Amino acid sequence: MPRSPATSADVVVIGGGVAGLLVAHRCAATGDSVLLLEAGERVGGRCLSLDAGGIRVDLGAAWHWAEHTRVPRVLDRFSLARIRQYEPGVAVFESGRNRPVEHVDWPSTPPPSWRIEGGTQALIDAVADVIPDGTVHCGMRVDRIRQAGPDGIRVEGTGSEGPFSVEAARCACAVPPRLVAHTIDIRPLPSGVKDALRHTPTWMSHSLKAGVVYDRPFWREDGWSGRVRSLVGPIHDWHDATPPASLASGGRSRGAGGLFGFGPPLQQGVSMDDFRKRIVEQLVHCYGPAARDPVAVRVQDWSRAPRTTPSAGSACRVDEPTAVPALSREYWNGRLHFVAAETACDHPGFLDGAIEAAQRWEEQTSATASAAA
Ligand X SMILES: Cc1cc2nc3c(=O)[nH]c(=O)nc-3n(C[C@H](O)[C@H](O)[C@H](O)COP(=O)(O)OP(=O)(O)OC[C@H]3O[C@@H](n4cnc5c(N)ncnc54)[C@H](O)[C@@H]3O)c2cc1C
Closest CA to 206 of 349, 308, 283: 308
Question: What interhelical angle do 18-29 and 351-372 show, nearest 10?
Answer: 30
CB of 150 to ligand X, least distance (A): 25
Q: Mention every residue, 6+ apart, whose C-beta is less than 8 A from residue 312.
A: 182
CB of 234 to ligand X, least distance (A): 15
**196 secondary structure, DSSP code:** H
CB of 193 to ligand X, least distance (A): 17
Long-range contacts of 223-227 (CB under 8 A, 24+ apart): 223/89, 223/90, 223/251, 224/89, 224/90, 224/91, 224/92, 224/103, 224/287, 225/86, 225/87, 225/88, 225/89, 225/90, 225/91, 225/106, 226/86, 226/89, 226/259, 227/87, 227/89, 227/91, 227/92, 227/106
- Closer CB to ligand X, 61 or 291, in the complex: 61
Helix or strand run (H / E) with residue 14: strand 8-14
Tell me how far apart the terminal alpha carbons of the chain are, to the nearest angstrom: 36
- Closer CB to ligand X, 166 or 340, in the complex: 340
Q: Around Cβ 112, how many Cβ atoms within 10 Å?
A: 11
From CA 338, how far away is CA 197, in angstroms rounded? 10
Q: Around Cβ 206, how many Cβ atoms within 10 Å?
A: 17
- Closer CB to ligand X, 101 or 341, in the complex: 341
- At residue 258, the 3 state secondary structure works out as strand
- Closer CB to ligand X, 211 or 216, in the complex: 211
- Closer CB to ligand X, 176 or 243, in the complex: 176
Strand partners for 229: 93, 237
CB of 339 to ligand X, least distance (A): 7
- Closer CB to ligand X, 18 or 27, in the complex: 18
CA 338, 342, 346, 351 torsion-angle sign = positive
CB of 332 to ligand X, least distance (A): 19
CB of 230 to ligand X, least distance (A): 17
CB of 249 to ligand X, least distance (A): 29
Question: What is the bridge-based pairing of β-strands 162-173 and 336-338?
Answer: parallel
Footprint of ligand X (CB under 6 A): 14-20, 37-40, 45-47, 60-64, 141-142, 174-176, 179, 183-184, 203-204, 207, 209, 302, 307-308, 340-341, 349-354
The phi, psi pair for 342, rounded to 5°, reads: -70, -10
- Closer CB to ligand X, 37 or 235, in the complex: 37
- Closer CB to ligand X, 39 or 52, in the complex: 39
From CA 209, how far away is CA 203, in angstroms rounded? 13
CB of 3 to ligand X, least distance (A): 13
Closest CA to 330 of 372, 359, 365, 355: 365
From CA 223, how far away is CA 91, in angstroms rounded? 9
CB of 358 to ligand X, least distance (A): 8
- Closer CB to ligand X, 203 or 287, in the complex: 203
- Closer CB to ligand X, 202 or 216, in the complex: 202
CB of 207 to ligand X, least distance (A): 5
